[in-house]
Amino acid sequence: MKRFSALSLGVLLVLLLVGGVFISGCTTTQPTPTPTTVVTTPPTTVAAEKPKLLIATTTSLYDTGLLDYLEPKFESMYNVDLQITSQGTGKAIEIAKNGDADVLLVHSPAQELKFVEDGYGINRRSFASNYFLIIGPADDPAGIRGMTPEDAFTTLLIKGSNNTAGVVFVSRGDASGTHTAEKGIWSKAKFNYTTGVQKSGAWYVEAGKGMGETLQLASEKKAYTFTDEGTFLAYKSNLQLEPIITQGASLLNIYSVMTVYNDQQPVEKIQMANNWVNFLISNQTQADIGNYGVVKYGKALFTPMSVYVPPAPAGWVGDYSTPATDLKPPAAVTTTTAAK
Mean pLDDT of 321-328: 97
Residue at 175 is within a domain: yes
Same domain for 179 and 242?
Answer: yes
Same domain for 69 and 164?
Answer: no
> Over pLDDT 90: what percentage of the chain?
79
CATH number at residue 219: 3.40.190.10
pLDDT tens per residue, range 25-71: 434 444 444 444 444 455 555 567 889 999 999 988 899 999 999 99
Same domain for 58 and 126?
Answer: yes
In this structure, how many other beta carbons lie within 10 angstroms of the beta carbon of residue 23? 10
Same domain for 179 and 87?
Answer: no
The per-residue pLDDT for 61 is 87
pLDDT tens per residue, range 290-315: 999 999 999 999 999 999 999 999 99
pLDDT tens per residue, range 264-291: 889 999 999 999 999 999 999 999 999 9
Domain containing 288 equals 52-130+254-304
Exposure string of 239-257, with b = 16+ CB inside 10 Å and e = fewer, is bebebbbeebebbbbbbbb
Same domain for 121 and 166?
Answer: no
Residue at 30 is within a domain: no
Whether residue 216 contacts residue 238, with contact meaning beta carbons closer than 8 Å, is answered with yes
Secondary element (H or E) of residue 85: strand 81-87
Same domain for 121 and 137?
Answer: no
- Which range, of 9-18, 125-134, 192-201, averages the lowest pLDDT? 9-18
Same domain for 139 and 229?
Answer: yes
> Over pLDDT 70: what percentage of the chain?
84
Q: How far is CA 134 from CA 15, 93, 108, 145, 332, in A?
A: 123, 25, 18, 9, 42
Same domain for 148 and 246?
Answer: yes
Residues 6+ apart with CB under 8 A from 24: none
Helical segments of the chain, H only: 2-27, 59-62, 66-78, 89-97, 109-117, 149-161, 177-188, 211-221, 229-235, 267-281, 283-291, 294-297
In this structure, how many other beta carbons lie within 10 angstroms of the beta carbon of residue 160? 22
The per-residue pLDDT for 331 is 78
Same domain for 264 and 218?
Answer: no
Same domain for 114 and 136?
Answer: no
Residue at 222 is within a domain: yes
pLDDT tens per residue, range 190-245: 999 999 999 899 999 999 999 999 999 999 999 999 999 999 999 999 999 999 99
Taking phi over 0 as left and psi of -120 to 50 as alpha, with beta for the rest, 213 belongs to: alpha
Mean pLDDT of 2-13: 40
Residue at 4 is within a domain: no
Same domain for 89 and 122?
Answer: yes
Query: Average pLDDT over the chain, rounded to whole?
Result: 88
In this structure, how many other beta carbons lie within 10 angstroms of the beta carbon of residue 289? 25
Q: Which of 251, 284, 315 is the last residue of a domain?
A: 251
Residue at 26 is within a domain: no
Residue at 5 is within a domain: no
Same domain for 114 and 167?
Answer: no
The per-residue pLDDT for 41 is 54
Helical segments of 118-247, H only: 149-161, 177-188, 211-221, 229-235
Query: How far apart are the C-alpha atoms of 323 and 309, rounded to whole Å?
Result: 17
Mean pLDDT of 59-85: 95
3: pLDDT strictly greater than 80: no
The per-residue pLDDT for 334 is 55
Q: Which of 235, 251, 267 is the last residue of a domain?
A: 251
Number of domains in the chain: 2
Q: Which of 251, 274, 293 is the last residue of a domain?
A: 251
Residue at 15 is within a domain: no
Residue at 320 is within a domain: no
Query: How far apart are the C-alpha atoms of 340 and 102, rounded to whole Å?
Result: 10
